[in-house]
Chain A
């Protein structure tokens, strides 16, 4: 495949950065902190604290679930904003964008490759939280069959499968944000500006989602289904929110991908 060399070099660019690894380590620290805190205390009483925190002491697998719940509103969008905001603006800031455009790859393909790198980071970030959560839960509490919200208990293998699904849900939830970041990144030569703007948008969207006066807008917010992965803990799985979320994120990817294409392909690249 002609584009695969470009893909590999983009992935290498993202994952060879020390910054990327620092962010993944910070994300991995969240479930570790949760687990250690619960281990050192007797744990919170039923119904207090973030969802499912009271289940952690009984079953280490819930560390992964609590970890994802705690990371999705702020930490995950923040790291994704850094990666996505850096895609084009970072190259422009370094003065390397024009060399990329001299290469025999179209601007459209460059965007695709850049977006692919950011999307893979989303997946990696979600998997790190889930995987570290499962491992630290196993080490500190032991793991067992998971009790679902519906009250049914599923065997260990299926429980791990559900956590994998939740990680996939979280990664898909972030793809829309990554596309927004990509577009903002084409607007500026200052990567920090693009990163900050993307992060601010993710928070602003969540605030809008909390205002009941704007409930006509809610179905269109890319953060609307971010917490919907709890629906994967029902029996049978409620796929509706997974589907709605995927559709919504696909819409954002298409719209902002097209905007980014329009911007980058008409841009006078001077740096």
Chain B
């Protein structure tokens, strides 16, 4: 070899070593772990029997709902960091053009835009949980952060960009409303708790008519081996959802990843996964939140506040307990049962005209995003369709437009 060539050896070797290391890490990350084969029932049992109550970790959420990316309202003035993890807070509408360039966007539009931003693109969050009543979630944004901290009956939210904190007092754990609250959430405040096996049976029996439940090859999430539990809607279901995959940690039974595939879309519509996971109690200091001295602090009392709980908790409390076999039991408790048409994947929720928030009808942003269809306006995403019918009702479902129209005509 010529001596001159030898001198260039490091310049050739170092990129090669870096590339090889990168490829090697990629292969080991995507390798299928060797896991003891388990049936779907066993995996659900593993998940239901998980005893991890304290953990911390980092979560990555990426969504691809097929909606156009909104102009980024979170960009700093001149120079900004790479924008892919940025999300707009409702507070920074005026600093950039925003969707309604020229005119100041209304508060409602800013709220909707903020919500849309949350469900589009990708987001990172850190999660700390210690038992059932201590939790902290930090939504990481480029130059800001949104925090939710729960410690016992005290719930704080903090938004660094607005420097605003909201304190909510939750019902006392012993009080009547709290136990009712819990009954509706978990359904088992009193009496014998079911075993993981029973829970798995109940779940599979409820899912059987509409869903095929299988276990696919394992994979690695946050460096841990997981079983992939796949819920696929049966052919009889007309839905936009192709399948739902839940990655269940083989060691602890904690679900570490959830991804939802939409029909006819290559990339997952929603992909939520831990990028790091530590099943240990986080530092207790993290749950003691004192708002910054110069922050705007709002107080909210859940029992007295009559505004938003009326639509959520209030109605839940007045509703009769759903029986275990009731299909509604599979849905998060909330709106009244008569809003829903169908069971399973093709359920359509019809919100009566008088319950629809006025902002939705007047919002210019909704007007821009919606397309006119027979019988109303359609907000289309790859996972969920929303039909704002001409008579003011709003129909929501993970179903094709035709089914929404049929439900709108039928009732």
Chain A interfacial positions (CB closer than 8 Å to B): 46-52, 58, 70, 72-74, 147, 149-153, 206, 209-210, 212, 215, 218, 224, 226-228, 230-231, 234-236, 238, 240, 251, 254-255, 258-259, 261-262, 265-266
Contacts and interface: CB of A to CB of B under 8 A. Distances in A.
Contacts of B95: 47-48
Given A51-B144, A70-B79, 19 more contacts: A46-B161, A47-B89, A47-B91, A47-B92, A50-B76, A151-B160, A151-B289, A151-B292, A152-B290, A153-B293, A210-B83, A227-B142, A230-B142, A234-B138, A236-B286, A251-B18, A255-B11, A258-B10, A261-B11
B14 A149 contact: no
B142 A259 contact: no
B14 A255 contact: yes
A50 B81 contact: no
30 contacts: A46-B162, A47-B92, A50-B76, A50-B78, A51-B76, A52-B143, A72-B79, A147-B293, A149-B160, A150-B147, A150-B158, A151-B147, A151-B289, A151-B295, A152-B289, A210-B83, A212-B83, A224-B82, A227-B80, A227-B81, A230-B142, A230-B143, A235-B286, A240-B58, A251-B18, A254-B14, A262-B7, A262-B9, A265-B7, A266-B4
A227 B82 CA distance: 8
Contacts of B156: 151
A47 B161 contact: yes
Contact of B79 (A52, A73, A212, A240): A73
A70 B77 CA distance: 11
Given A153-B292, A234-B145, A266-B4, A50 B77 contact: yes
B106 to A, nearest CB: 17
For the complex of A and B, 8 pairs with smallest distance between CB atoms: A227-B81, A151-B158, A258-B10, A262-B8, A147-B292, A73-B79, A51-B143, A149-B145
Interface residues of B, number: 48
B126 A238 contact: yes
B294 interface: yes
Contacts of B91: 46-47
B87 to A, nearest CB: 14
Contacts of A74: 79
B160 A150 contact: yes
Contacts of B160: 149-151
B84 A212 contact: yes
Interface string B144-180: 1101000000001010111101000000000000000
Contacts of B89: 47
B7 A266 contact: yes
A59 to B, nearest CB: 9
Given A151-B160, A230-B143, A255-B14, A49 B79 contact: no
Given A49-B77, A224-B82, A266-B4, A151 B126 contact: no
B15 interface: yes
Contact of A262 (B11, B80, B81, B289): B11
A72 B79 CA distance: 9
B48 interface: no
B291 interface: yes
A233 to B, nearest CB: 9
> A48, A151, A210, A226: which has the most chain B beta carbons within 10 Å?
A151
A69 B30 CA distance: 37
Contacts of B290: 152-153
B82 A234 contact: no
Contacts of A147: 163, 292-295
B192 interface: no
Given A236-B286, A258-B14, A218 B84 contact: yes
Nearest to A208: B82
Given A151-B158, A210-B83, A262 B10 contact: yes
B140 interface: yes
Contacts of A72: 79
A150 B138 contact: yes
